[in-house]
Amino acid sequence: MIEIGIIGGTGYTSGELIRLIIHHPKARINSVVSRSSPDKKIHCFHQDLLGEIDMKFTDSLKNKEIDVVFLCSGHGQSRKELKKISKHVKVIDLSQDFRIMNQSIFEGRNFIYGLPELQKNIIKKSNSIANPGCFATAILLAILPLAKKKLLKQHIHISAITGSTGSGKKMSETNQFSWRNNNISTYQIFKHQHIKEIKQTIQQVQDHFSSEIYFIPYRGNFSRGIIATLYTYSSFSLERNREIYKEYYKNHPFVEISDINIDLKQVVNTNKCILFLLKEKDQLIVISVIDNLIKGASGQAVQNMNLLFNLDETCGLKLKSVRF
């Protein structure tokens, strides 16, 4: 069994990660660290886990036999935590600290950008993974087939809306129920932090890409999920574009191409990304839906763990959507 350590145990992503690992047939939780709540029962913070786990949070990783550590602390905290982790232990970081290439080397570790649909074989040979951002995951999966064929010729326009869990548990005005309910707003227009990793990844695949990425994120009045819509120039027919996408994702079990319009509930509580393509005049439109907490965070982290340990990447991730 793979021995799991989790640091930063009280947030949404760690709650989902614990839930997934509890039911993973090849892994088990060794320690869950919360320095703000040591010795408190995990299910007191993640109440859906009542009856599933009876462990308490600890103030440090207790067992030296841990195989992999998931870092679920806030952005900027991972560098502090890494100094306490043995170089022999694999690390999957869910913050944004190591996603950008000029920040990816630290304490003798070279963090690999952990988007399996981009570089599955490289991930398998690594020991340090920078898990992608949630918006970046939804958007990149909608773009990668075009970049692979060097078909991105003009600017990319994106709008995407995320649920309130995308803001984390820390309270602010914009994630309170009274503010979110019956409400919607934009934020960080053209300046969202995920644009850097999106552009970096596109240029990794299509090295001469120099067009702009115009991204408008929205705060939604629902709990979880992301729906992203992007459009860009394409000289190909809709049918040819669909062929390109289906060919690219034929060996990637979590991405599906739909022939009919899609909605968010198809992916909530799953590690899936579903894409739907349209063509209007010379613009290709791609709609992408994911669960921000699973494919956009904890599920993708488990998918990366599976690859690191040469397991089937779907292991422990065959989840049912919450449709109704």
Residues identified as active-site = 134
Compute the Cα dihedral for 113, 116, 120, 124 and give only its sign: positive
Phi, psi at residue 167, to the nearest 5°? -90, -5
> Side chain identity at 15, as an amino acid letter?
G
| Closest listed residue to residue 71, CA positions, set 63, 56, 83 | 83
Q: How far is CA 30 from CA 80, 117, 128, 244, 270, in A?
A: 21, 29, 19, 43, 24
The residue with tokens 């502090």 is 80
* Identity at 261, one-letter amino acid code: N
Q: What's the number of CA atoms in the CB half-sphere (13 Å) around residue 296? A: 28
Token couple for 243: 């062929």
The rounded distance, in Å, linking the Cα atoms of 82 and 304 is 19
CB 94 within 8 A of CB 72: yes
Our measurement of the distance from residue 48's CA atom to the centroid of its chain's CA atoms, rounded to an integer in Å, reads 21
